[in-house]
């Protein structure tokens, strides 16, 4: 079910989502892996082949992505690396555009923020949903190879993913951004007019928002799409889909000009077999209906939980974007980051970002959501009884200013007396 058990035997409801991988439910991935192994064990370690399973996967991925060419890789980061490289190679342009706060993998070629010592000089980071950004694309279209979009940014526009380690008070700004669909359509039109490749990084959002990812959820078609995480059916995977002219690894006019994009374990038989099980499951009518049921259950859960928190005076509120959700804090407080530990003590499993980003899977049923509300209320009451949500008795900023100001004055007076 939706519960996980740790090494000490503690049982918890999992809302971590395994870093975005768990879309279907853990029991379903067990089925994919078992089914995949029953097929792949006959082949063993045989790489570089195009067997029926691989060809079947390619056919289904063409339907999902709407693109004719498919490239297999070993992770979502690798998939984005491939997309950027083929876009630059086939447009013969250097620059790539990202939007503020968006994550496109850990490699230093596309991470111009904290955590990357080598700041790339061939990446432009623009403001999401800004008309000025569209003007930049038009003005520099001769230099820009591609625009990368991570649709997850709709939930925290122009910000890095929210997390408890950086939570200082009730200043978490998160929630679905109105007008994001219209923005994507405007961006699509500008990229088309300027001859710029539009890349959707669907490593996280692919199959979570919709059976066709953000392309299906927002009715917009990208030029290149990157997939990963859940697509492997429980095993590591990266996939890039695009048109032939943008996926080319060689230059038809210059034979010596090639684009080196390879990977030893890309297309591993076990991974391909598990992916095949996942993609065949995705096509079932009952799977599509489960997305609708999950949406209705989450809507009811958010409404019920928020009403309960307000009734009992707890300073939290939930917000969601499809099956991605977060906890907002409604009053200032220095200790909101501690709430994650009370949730864990109440039997709720979270990832390292704490209450910043939480995930549901298709496996969750109404009874599970109701059980989660009960555990969250227990955590809230314990947090309150512990005194961590008590209103401040003094203005912390004013006290700090007085303390610093007094110290400065004393230092100045002491310096004057000694001279």
SS3 track for 291-303: HHHHHHHHHHHHH
CA angle (243, 246, 252) in 5-degree steps:
115
Q: Strand, helix or coil at 22?
A: coil
Which DSSP symbol is given to 126? E
Which DSSP symbol is given to 124? E
Q: By the 8 A CB rule, do 388 and 335 touch?
A: yes
| CB burial of residue 401 (10 Å; 0-12, 13-18, 19+) | exposed
Predicted local confidence at residue 394, as pLDDT? 72
Predicted local confidence at residue 416, as pLDDT? 65
Q: By the 8 A CB rule, do 350 and 13 touch?
A: no
In this structure, how many other beta carbons lie within 10 angstroms of the beta carbon of residue 345? Answer: 15
Hey, CA dihedral for 40, 43, 47, 52, is it positive or negative?
A: negative
**β-strands 254-258, 250-251 pairing:** antiparallel
At 199, which helix (H) or strand (E)? strand 197-201
Which DSSP symbol is given to 114? T
Residue with tokens 């061939």: 122
Shortest CA distance to 147 belongs to which of 206, 210, 212, 102?
Answer: 102
| Spatial distance between the Cα atoms of 319 and 175, rounded to a whole number of angstroms | 6
| Spatial distance between the Cα atoms of 96 and 64, rounded to a whole number of angstroms | 25
Predicted local confidence at residue 210, as pLDDT? 92
Q: Whole-model pTM?
A: 0.90
Report the chain (419 residues): mean pLDDT per 10 consecutive residues.
92 94 95 94 81 95 97 95 96 95 88 75 94 97 97 92 87 92 98 98 94 94 97 96 95 88 89 96 94 96 98 97 96 93 96 93 96 98 96 77 88 73
Predicted local confidence at residue 46, as pLDDT? 81
- In 7-82, which ranges are E strands? 11-14, 69-73
Residue 117 corresponds to which tokens in the numbers above? 């010592």
SS3 track for 211-243: CCHHHHHHCCCCCEEEEEHHHHCCCCCEEEEEC
């Amino acid at each position: 079910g939706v519960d996980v058990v740790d090494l000490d035997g503690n049982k918890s409801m999992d809302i971590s989502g395994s870093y975005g991988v768990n879309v279907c439910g853990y029991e379903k991935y067990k089925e994919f892996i078992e089914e995949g192994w029953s097929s792949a064990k006959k082949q063993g370690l045989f790489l570089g082949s195009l067997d029926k399973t691989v060809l079947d996967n390619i056919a289904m991925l063409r339907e999902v992505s709407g693109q004719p060419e498919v490239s297999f890789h070993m992770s979502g980061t690798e998939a984005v690396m491939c997309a950027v490289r083929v876009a630059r190679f086939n447009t013969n342009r250097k620059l790539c555009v990202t939007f503020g706060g968006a994550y496109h993998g850990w490699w230093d070629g596309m991470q111009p923020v904290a955590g990357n010592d080598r700041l790339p000089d061939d990446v432009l980071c623009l403001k999401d949903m800004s008309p000025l950004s569209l003007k930049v694309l038009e003005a520099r279209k001769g230099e820009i190879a591609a625009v990368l979009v991570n649709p997850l940014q709709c939930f925290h526009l122009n910000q890095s993913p929210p997390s408890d380690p950086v939570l200082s008070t009730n200043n978490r700004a998160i929630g679905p951004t109105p007008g994001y669909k219209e923005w994507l359509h405007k961006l699509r039109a500008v990229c088309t007019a300027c001859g710029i490749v539009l890349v959707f990084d669907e490593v996280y959002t692919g199959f979570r928002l919709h059976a066709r990812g953000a392309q299906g959820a927002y009715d917009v078609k990208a030029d290149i799409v990157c997939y990963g995480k859940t697509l492997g059916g429980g095993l590591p995977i990266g996939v890039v889909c695009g048109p032939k002219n943008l996926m080319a690894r060689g230059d038809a006019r210059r034979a010596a000009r090639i684009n080196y994009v390879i990977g030893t374990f890309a297309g591993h038989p076990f991974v391909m077999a598990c992916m095949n099980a996942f993609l065949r499951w995705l096509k079932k009518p009952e799977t599509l209906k489960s997305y609708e049921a999950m949406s209705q259950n989450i809507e009811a859960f958010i409404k019920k939980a928020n009403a309960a928190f307000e009734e009992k005076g707890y300073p939290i509120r939930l917000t969601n974007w499809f099956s991605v959700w977060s906890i907002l804090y409604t009053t200032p407080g220095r200790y909101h980051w501690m709430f994650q530990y009370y949730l864990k003590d109440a039997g709720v499993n979270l990832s390292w970002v704490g209450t910043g980003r939480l995930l549901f899977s298709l496996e969750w049923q109404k009874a599970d959501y109701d059980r989660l509300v009960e555990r969250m209320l227990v955590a809230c009451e314990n947090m309150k009884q512990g005194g961590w949500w008590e209103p401040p008795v003094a203005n912390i900023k004013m006290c700090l200013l007085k303390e610093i100001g007094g110290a400065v004055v004393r230092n100045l007076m002491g310096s004057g007396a000694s001279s």
